[in-house]
Amino acid sequence: MEKEGRIYVDLDNTLIDSVAYYRGNDGKRVVITLEGKERYGTIVRAEALTLLDFCRKIRPTLLLTAGMKDYALAINEKLNLGFKEQEVITREDWCYEETGGWGMGTYVPLKTKVDPKAILIDDIHPDEKISGQNAIWPRIKMEYLGIKEERFIKVRRFTG
Ligand SMILES: [Mg+2]
């Protein structure tokens, strides 16, 4: 299969919803405990696996998340999202934090234009404001991939 023009799917609130410091025990959420870190209660979106099957029939499909590697790999495995390890692209792989003045850090993509024919599926629109702040991740993801808005597909935010 061609390498360019892959489909990149966001993790949190697109495919799954995670609650940090989860203490519940109702069986609805899968408990994920990361070494030396908090406990998450995670639930997969009803349509998520169907969406992934559909994407995989069209193009090679990868996970592209601002989440960290241990978190994303654990969720991929425990919730059977079906990504191979090399298809799980996490924050460490695609961006770094540039420390600015006054404690204002900003994230910068490690590379840009890695796949300008890509499609990005995400729950946050690049122009969306969250708590009054511009959502940063979709824009950084788009810069990393080298895509414009016509290659961005927003899905309804899934919150469990
Ligand atoms: Mg998201």
| Residue 33 included in any domain | no
| Distance (Å) from CA 122 to ligand 1 centroid | 6
State whether residue 110 is helix, strand or coil.
Answer: coil
Running DSSP on this structure, what letter comes out for residue 156?
Answer: P
| Distance (Å) from CA 124 to ligand 1 centroid | 6
pTM metric for this prediction:
0.91
Each residue of 99-137: pLDDT tens digit?
766 666 688 899 999 999 999 999 999 888 777 666 788
| Distance (Å) from CA 37 to ligand 1 centroid | 21
Range of the domain at 124: 7-15+45-154
Each residue of 73-90: pLDDT tens digit?
999 999 999 999 999 999
Q: Strands (DSSP E) along the chain, which ranges?
A: 7-9, 16-20, 30-33, 39-44, 61-64, 88-89, 95-99, 105-109, 119-122, 129-130, 133-134, 152-154
| Residue 66 included in any domain | yes
Q: Considering only 3-7, 26-30, 139-143, which range has the smallest mean pLDDT?
A: 3-7
**Structural domain count, the chain:** 1
- Here the tokens at position 1 are 């299969």
Query: To the nearest whole percent, how much of the chain has pLDDT over 70?
Result: 92
| Residue 136 included in any domain | yes
| Residue 40 included in any domain | no
